[in-house]
């Protein structure tokens, strides 16, 4: 395994190979780490997303994958190794065949006012690679993805279908604007646990059966406010967010956490912005209230609009925001107009080409054709954690055994986050408590904080 591979990836690959070996190798020695890495080289499966009116779209992959062509070796490549094929005993093979694939589910917002397809696409790439290496204990992973269409009724239907009809053992890589709030109670009722790829609504971080891998928008608000006042030295810090009734308490909690850590108060705040409204009045209010810096919880196109307004109106206020705007598309669209836009990255900044922690993720996303975004990092990380959990289960993989493994999971040093990932028992989960910041400079994202920023 190359030294650029993250600790979490080394763990997951080792566990997969160990599980496959235990299921059928007899007394043969297990392949070494280099062989395991070569066996787990990426393969992709093209997903088919079917959408029907008044029902959620479903993606069902039975786990069959074809190995990609190996790239030509270069002088910089590590020495190639080839893992010997694992010959399973007849009894073990029959058992794996009888059990069928390991069924995992996800519910994401794929249509509606915003969409988050990268999370489940990245998770699928991880599972495809595992399947190409022989699965887990001889069983492939079947990943069923549902689209909630930003509709609570569809989100509820999707959860019940995954529970009743598909019989999934866990949820992995979901990224939805409302799915947590709709389904958290149902998951607790049926004993279904979710390693969320992108937690967005506040309930994602305040329930027993869901643990997101990302920082989330509300703690990101707090850390961005802290960065603005304590690191950038902004005297007058302001805040803006959109008028989502269920989000208002979380907005207040984020501001309160910053205030408690710094002893400071906002110079101006407006959490009544409309999703498709003109942001010019808000930007002018920031200027008239003397805001040196404003943290705004928004989507990618909102940041584009704000920076264009800032330039057109000749405003001085610095805009800070969330990882939703940290994309190559935003950088390309804004160019020099975006100079000074500072955003929080919930994971190791994906545009940092010098970071060895990103090597495996970047290579796999390129292989699978998944756009490199923070949402893709979340899906990859959620799936990789789940692979390690599944491979470490001693005995049959069921909903109950997966739940037990997640509840007993030791904190995982992921290499992609500033704090370890954790699940465990509890009524709330929010283990990712750090961010790095990136700044847009002449159409390119530049890492502004090599070290993770954490609110004390």
In contact, 181 and 114? CB cutoff 8 Å: no
397: its two tokens: 């993989």
Look at the block and give the residue holding tokens 């006012």: 113
Summarised one tens digit per residue, pLDDT across range 63-116 is 433 444 444 444 344 333 223 333 344 454 446 767 899 999 999 999 988 889
Domain spans of the chain, in order of start: 7-215+355-407, 217-321
pLDDT at residue 97 in the model: 66
pLDDT at residue 336 in the model: 98
Return the sign of the alpha-carbon dihedral for residues 369, 375, 381, 382.
negative
In contact, 125 and 380? CB cutoff 8 Å: yes
pLDDT at residue 123 in the model: 98
What superfamily in CATH does domain 7-215+355-407 come from? Answer: Response regulator (3.40.50.2300)
pLDDT at residue 95 in the model: 66
3-state secondary structure of 331: helix
Summarised one tens digit per residue, pLDDT across range 350-394 is 999 999 999 999 999 999 999 999 999 999 999 999 999 999 999
Summarised one tens digit per residue, pLDDT across range 113-130 is 888 999 999 999 999 999
pLDDT at residue 66 in the model: 40
CATH architecture of 217-321: 3-Layer(aba) Sandwich (3.40)
Residue 56's pLDDT band (boundaries 50, 70, 90)?
A: very low
If residue 365 lies in a helix (H) or strand (E), which one and from where to where? helix 359-368
In contact, 129 and 40? CB cutoff 8 Å: yes
Return the sign of the alpha-carbon dihedral for residues 388, 120, 103, 107.
positive
Summarised one tens digit per residue, pLDDT across range 182-219 is 999 999 999 999 999 999 999 999 999 999 999 999 99
Summarised one tens digit per residue, pLDDT across range 258-292 is 999 999 999 999 999 998 899 999 999 999 999 99
Distance CA 249, CA 309 (A): 29
Instruction: Please give the mean pLDDT across all residues of the chain.
Output: 84
Give yes or no on whether 7-215+355-407 and 217-321 have one common fold.
Answer: yes
282-285 LR contacts (CB < 8 Å, sep 24+)? 282/240, 283/309, 283/310, 283/313, 283/315, 283/317, 284/313, 284/315
182: its two tokens: 């709709």
In contact, 41 and 130? CB cutoff 8 Å: no
55: its two tokens: 């029902």
pLDDT of 36 above 90:
no
Q: Name 447's bridge partners.
A: 438
pLDDT of 222 above 80:
yes
Asked which of 81-90, 136-145, 402-411 is least confident by mean pLDDT, the reply is 81-90
């Amino acid at each position: 395994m190359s030294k650029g591979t993250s600790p979490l990836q080394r763990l997951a690959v080792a566990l997969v190979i160990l599980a496959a070996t235990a299921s059928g190798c007899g007394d043969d020695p297990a392949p070494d780490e280099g062989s395991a890495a070569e066996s787990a080289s990426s393969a992709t499966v093209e997903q088919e997303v079917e959408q029907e009116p008044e029902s959620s779209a479903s993606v069902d992959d039975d786990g069959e994958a074809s190995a990609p062509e190996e790239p030509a070796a270069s002088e910089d490549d590590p020495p190639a190794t080839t893992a010997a094929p694992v010959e399973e005993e007849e009894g073990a093979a029959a058992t794996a065949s009888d059990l069928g694939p390991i069924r995992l589910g996800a519910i994401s917002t794929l249509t509606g006012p915003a969409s988050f397809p990268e999370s489940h696409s990245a998770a699928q790439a991880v599972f495809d690679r595992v399947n190409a290496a022989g699965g887990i204990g001889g069983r492939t992973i079947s990943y069923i993805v549902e689209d909630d269409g930003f509709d609570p009724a569809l989100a509820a239907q999707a959860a019940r279908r995954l529970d009743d009809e598909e019989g999934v053992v866990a949820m992995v890589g979901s990224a939805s604007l409302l799915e947590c709030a709709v389904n958290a109670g149902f998951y607790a009722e049926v004993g279904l646990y979710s390693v969320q790829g992108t937690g967005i609504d506040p309930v994602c971080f305040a329930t027993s059966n869901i643990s997101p891998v990302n920082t989330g928008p509300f703690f990101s608000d707090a850390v961005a406010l802290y960065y603005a006042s304590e690191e950038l030295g902004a005297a007058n810090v302001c805040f803006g967010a959109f008028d989502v009734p269920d989000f208002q308490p979380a907005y207040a909690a984020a501001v309160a956490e910053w205030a408690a850590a710094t002893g400071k108060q906002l110079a101006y705040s407006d959490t009544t912005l409309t999703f498709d409204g003109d942001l010019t009045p808000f930007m002018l209010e920031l200027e008239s209230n003397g805001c040196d810096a404003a943290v705004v919880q928004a989507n990618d196109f909102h940041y584009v609009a704000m920076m264009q307004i800032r330039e057109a109106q000749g405003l001085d206020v610095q805009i800070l925001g969330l990882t939703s705007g940290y994309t190559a598309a935003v950088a390309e669209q804004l160019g020099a107009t975006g100079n000074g836009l500072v955003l929080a990255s919930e994971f190791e900044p994906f545009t940092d080409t010098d970071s060895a922690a990103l090597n495996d993720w970047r290579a796999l996303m390129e292989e699978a054709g998944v756009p490199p975004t923070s949402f893709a990092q979340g899906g990859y990380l959620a799936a990789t954690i789940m692979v390690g959990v599944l491979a470490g289960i001693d005995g049959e993989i069921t909903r109950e055994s997966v739940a037990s493994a997640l509840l007993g999971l030791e904190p995982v040093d992921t290499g992609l986050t500033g704090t370890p990932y954790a699940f465990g028992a509890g009524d709330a989960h929010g283990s990712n408590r750090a961010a790095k910041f990136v700044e847009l400079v002449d159409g390119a994202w530049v890492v502004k904080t090599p070290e993770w920023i954490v609110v004390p």
